[in-house]
Chains A and B, each alone.
Chain A
Amino acid sequence: MHSTAFFYILNRMEKEKGHLHPLTHVIRDVLSVLTEMGFEITQAPEIDSEFYNFDALNVPKDHPARDMQDTFWVKGASETVLRTHVSNAQVRYMENHKPPFKVAYFGKAYRNEATDATHEAVFHQFETLVVGKNITLGNLKYTIESFTKKLFGDKITIRLRPGYFPFVEPGLEVDMSCFKCKGGMGCSVCKGTGWVEGIGAGMVHPNVLRAGGLDPREWQGFAFGAGWDRITMARYDIPDARLMASGDLRLTNQF
């Protein structure tokens, strides 16, 4: 005969709370901040046309990114790719919604590149898109600043540098002061520079607005996005991108 204490243990074992994947921890933080800032959550498909993934985003036909070596094409379907970024949501959303709007989207994206500790052919991104009457680069700066502060703490500062993405102009790279060593020098996250890279941003290119059926003389907007894996890896010191889809509870159960 087992005693009551045994049933207590059995119950505990069954009902012990499970764990969320570290990527989910991070995206929930991101989405909490963004929804609080008035963003709507939306989604776009992972298999998409070259139009939404490239043409509509001002990526010309002969752009190196469209080369076979960088993009996966779907067999037997013409001009169909595994999206190379979550930005395929941009024009899809514009087509079905009248500005002004603030949206956030996230998910898997695919790139035809060899896998190593820092590169995965299957990776994760999140991005935001804001379109309105008089949206400026100053608004972009304010929004990223508030976003990073809410996500990583009030002490975080950002700096903007020139960057290049075909679907925005001006294009920007955003660095934030290191959330680990608080902008001090010398930790593994910022590699001693005091800055963490990884947010791409810019003013929506007029060609993208046009592709979405919007008149660039009337509407302006910005977008910013980041590698969701990269932020997760930096935040939790996870050394290898390949661990994300390993199905291994030795990863998940630490969080």
Chain B
Amino acid sequence: MEIPFSYKALETYFEEALPEPEKFVALITQHSFEVAEVVKKDDDDTIITVDILPNRAHDASSYYFFAKEVAAISGKKVKPVPECKVDISDIEPPQISIEDTGGCNRYCLQKIENVEVKESPDWLKDILIRIGQKPINNIVDATNFVLWSYNQPTHAFDADKIEGEKISVRHAQKDEKITTLDGKEVVFGGSELVIADEESPIAIAGVKGGNKAEVTNKTTSIILESANFDPVSVRKTSRKHGIVTDSSKRFEHHISPELVRTALELLTHMVINLAGTSNTKVSEIVDKYPNKQEKVQVQVSVDTVNKILGIDITDKDIAQILTRLQFEHVFDSGVFSVTAPSERLDIKKTEDLVEEIGRIYGYNNIEAQPIPEMDFSPQISKEYFTISALEDTLLGEGFSQIETYALQKKGDIEIANPLARDKGALRKNMARGFKDALSLNTYNMDLLGLSQVKLFEIGTVFTKDGEETHFALGIKNGKLYKGKKDEEIYLDTVIESLNSQLGTVIHKKDGVLEKGEFGLIFEINISQIDITPKDTYKALDGFMSAQGTYQSPSSYPFVIRDIAVFIPANTSKEELEKLIKEKAGELLKQKFLFDVYEKESQTSYAYRLVFQSYEKTLTDEEVGNIMAQIEAEIGKKEDWSIR
């Protein structure tokens, strides 16, 4: 979860200056989280976008708890949480009814009468803009500030728009409706958790408020809500209706219900300061907390830390790290008993502590050590031996390897939740993909400089009998191919050659043969190919991988021209090729010899030339001009002639 932190806003949480942004980023990267982006702002601020790891989204995606993290890794002191005491009047507090305690862990409300909704003061607007939020009014801005401080979503309702006395947390009824704050109508299926007054829903719990009890400039009396909802329930509702909000994202990551009250106290304190009048009255907080968060004590021994990390850390150093993390701890006979702050829901087991100690200690400070001698003799994988031996043999036969797509429209094994209709199943064979590949590569045959397309793939297919590894060959003879036109004759020679080289017997009848306009496809289950593995993988021995970088092909059509030239038998064809290359220039993408013919003291060489531009479709005229230049140059040579 990427969170943009304003360096300046973050600094307000500290008693002392933070390290310079550059050092600060290095520190976070090494000990806590990846930094996705650093942007220097005109006003001397720096926005540091941090990719909070999923197991820390419940705390570190907010300013105050991120500041605590920074304190742990930098040793800088965070300011204590400010006192948020307010005077309570004897006005009637709201009534709460939680009908689904599975979906709601804690629910708090507090009523404030006689407030003035208006623009926020500059300091608050400034902070919100700095952290990428849009100021709306003092009440909404205060809830936003609280969210970004403590990671706790809160909400304000207009108290006068609420029908009846009681606010309930309940399941929506089927076909019940709500119009959200941004005017979108949502029709409930019935599984969603909602907040409702005695007549109808006023919010989708943990996801979005409704416009029924929206706070506007005319609002004078409000009910503030701070609550904790079940992550799975919020996620399902959010996904179901396609509404993702700052609030739903927080709840999905399971935040501590202990935050609920702290956040509400800060919110109320802010509202009184920002929107209070001489007549403002505040009710008691009504706090329903059905699922109390238990304190978790975790043990870790100094030995365990050292045994897992491969270091030699002392109990004194571990104690120091735990103190910096603000983890309560007691050390007794080599073992630490640790209680993490309530917001650190991720600290549940010994290895969680080992990880905390390891990352604060610094993974880069851990010495690399070779794996100790092991009583293990690796076995040769028969499957990989067969695959790699087949690959090498087919390469020698001039076949090139492709991969075709594993998901298709139809197949024996279907996907319950496909990405698209044409990707609804796993392929049951490679034939479909090979037909497309043969057609594509046959079209490009000249560009590729081939007279024959020869493809192979070794990969998984999925039939009613289960998952199988198949190997497929695809052959298509081009117009310039000089052998027998029937691809099956060629296949027979390939199978014969594979059998003699691999010492196996591939029977054509064990595979599936398909022929057509597209050429030929032969596919066979590799379990039919019995190759006895050797002690090592021959294909890996001294393997030299390709160097170089990929050049994207042009998306414009290519144009072909043939040229046949008689040159004296004692002149090398390289001389002719050099001339063609020079005159053709950079638009010549491929050139290959397809015919040689000798007559008396002369030899005729026939070349196919393929022209293509990266910028445009070449016209006949442009290519004609190039050919004319080549021909003119040939014409200048004594004893050379165009056939």
User: What residues make up the interface of A, taking CB atoms closer than 8 Å to B?
Assistant: 2-3, 5-6, 8-10, 13-26, 28-29, 31-32, 35, 38-43, 45-47, 62, 64, 67-69, 72-76, 82, 100-103, 107-108, 110, 112-115, 121-122, 130, 132-139, 141-143, 145, 159-164, 169-173, 203, 205-206, 220, 236-239, 244-255
Chain A CB within 8 A of B310 CB = yes
User: Which residues of chain B are within 8 angstroms of A14 by Cβ–Cβ distance?
Assistant: 398, 452, 483
Contact of B543 among A28, A76, A250, A252 (CB under 8 A): A28
> Is B448 a contact partner of A250 (Cβ separation < 8 A)?
yes
Q: Are A20 and B371 in contact (CB under 8 A)?
A: no
A–B Cβ pairs within 8 angstroms, 13 of them: A9-B594, A18-B398, A24-B391, A72-B416, A73-B417, A100-B375, A141-B369, A220-B308, A245-B403, A245-B406, A247-B433, A248-B437, A254-B548
Q: Are B545 and A29 in contact (CB under 8 A)?
A: yes
Instruction: Apart from A41-B384, A138-B311, A142-B370, list 20 A-B contacts with CB within 8 A.
Output: A5-B603, A6-B597, A10-B483, A14-B398, A18-B456, A25-B546, A64-B235, A73-B416, A110-B406, A121-B423, A133-B372, A138-B367, A139-B370, A143-B371, A160-B366, A169-B355, A170-B309, A220-B308, A248-B444, A250-B444
Q: Within the assembled complex, what's the spacing in Å between the Cα atoms of A16 and B539?
A: 19
- Quote the shortest CB–CB distance from A69 to chain B (angstroms): 7
**Minimum distance in angstroms from A53 CB to a CB of chain B:** 14
Q: Is the CB of B310 within 8 A of A139?
A: yes
Judge whether B406 and A237 touch: CB under 8 Å: no
Residues of chain B having any CB pair with chain A under 8 Å: 29-34, 53-56, 231-232, 235, 239, 252, 307-311, 349, 351-352, 354-355, 358-359, 363-364, 366-372, 374-376, 378-381, 383-384, 388, 391, 394-407, 413-419, 423, 426, 433-434, 436-437, 440-441, 444, 447-448, 450-456, 459-460, 462, 466-467, 481-483, 536-537, 539-540, 543, 545-546, 548-553, 593-598, 603
Smallest CB separation, B485 vs chain A (Å): 14
Query: Beyond A9-B596, A132-B372, is A169–B448 a contact (Cβ under 8 Å)?
Result: no
How many Å lie between the Cα of A40 and that of B372 in the bound state? 17
Chain A residues near B551 (CB-CB < 8 A): 254
Which residue of chain B has its CB nearest to the CB of A242?
B405
Q: Closest Cβ of chain A: how far from B177's Cβ, in Å? A: 25
Determine how close the nearest CB of chain B comes to the CB of A41; give it in whole angstroms: 4
Task: Collect the chain B residues with CB atoms within 8 Å of residue A172's CB.
Answer: 363
Whether A102 contacts B381 by the Cβ 8 Å rule is no
Q: A138-B311, A160-B363 are in contact. Are A43 and B371 (CB under 8 A)?
A: no
Query: In whole angstroms, how far apart are the Cα atoms of A13 and B481 in the complex?
Result: 9
Docked Cα-Cα span, A162 to B239, in Å, equals 29
Q: Is the CB of A245 within 8 A of B235?
A: no
A-B contact count (CB 8 A): 300
Query: B402 — nearest CB in chain A belongs to which residue?
Result: A247
Residues of B within 8 A of A10 (CB): 482-483
Q: Are A138 and B368 in contact (CB under 8 A)?
A: yes
Q: A134 to B444: give the CA distance in the assembly, Å.
A: 56
Chain B residues, CB < 8 A from A171? 355
- Establish whether residues A38 and B378, one from each chain, have CB atoms under 8 Å apart when the complex forms: yes
Most chain B CB neighbours (cut-off 10 Å) among A38, A72, A122, A249: A249
User: Quick check: B405 and A245 within 8 Å, CB to CB?
Assistant: yes
CA distance A244 to B231 in the complex (A): 37
Given known A-B contacts A28-B539, A28-B543, A102-B374, A137 and B308 have beta carbons under 8 A apart? yes
- Could you tell me the distance in whole angstroms from the C-beta of A63 to the nearest C-beta in chain B? 9
By the criterion CB–CB under 8 Å, are A163 and B546 in contact? no
User: A236's contact among B423, B462, B549, by CB below 8 Å, is which?
Assistant: B549
Minimum CB distance partner of A251 in chain B: B550
Contact of B548 among A18, A21, A137, A236 (CB under 8 A): A236
User: Whole-angstrom distance between the alpha carbons of A73 and B551 in the complex?
Assistant: 37
Which A residues are CB-close (under 8 A) to B388? 28
Neighbouring B residues of A9 by C-beta, 8 Å: 593-596
Q: Are B55 and A17 in contact (CB under 8 A)?
A: no
**C-alpha gap A205/B603 in the complex (Å):** 72
Whether B452 lies near A13 (C-beta < 8 A) is yes
Smallest distance from the beta carbon of A47 to chain B beta carbons, Å?
A: 6
Kindly state the separation between the CA atoms of A115 and B407 in the bound complex, as whole angstroms: 13
A residues within 8 A CB of B379?
40
- The answer, among B32, B368, B407, for a CB contact under 8 Å with A141, is B368
Name which residue of chain A comes closest to B392, CB basis. Answer: A20
> Which residues of chain A are within 8 angstroms of B308 by Cβ–Cβ distance?
136-137, 170, 203, 220
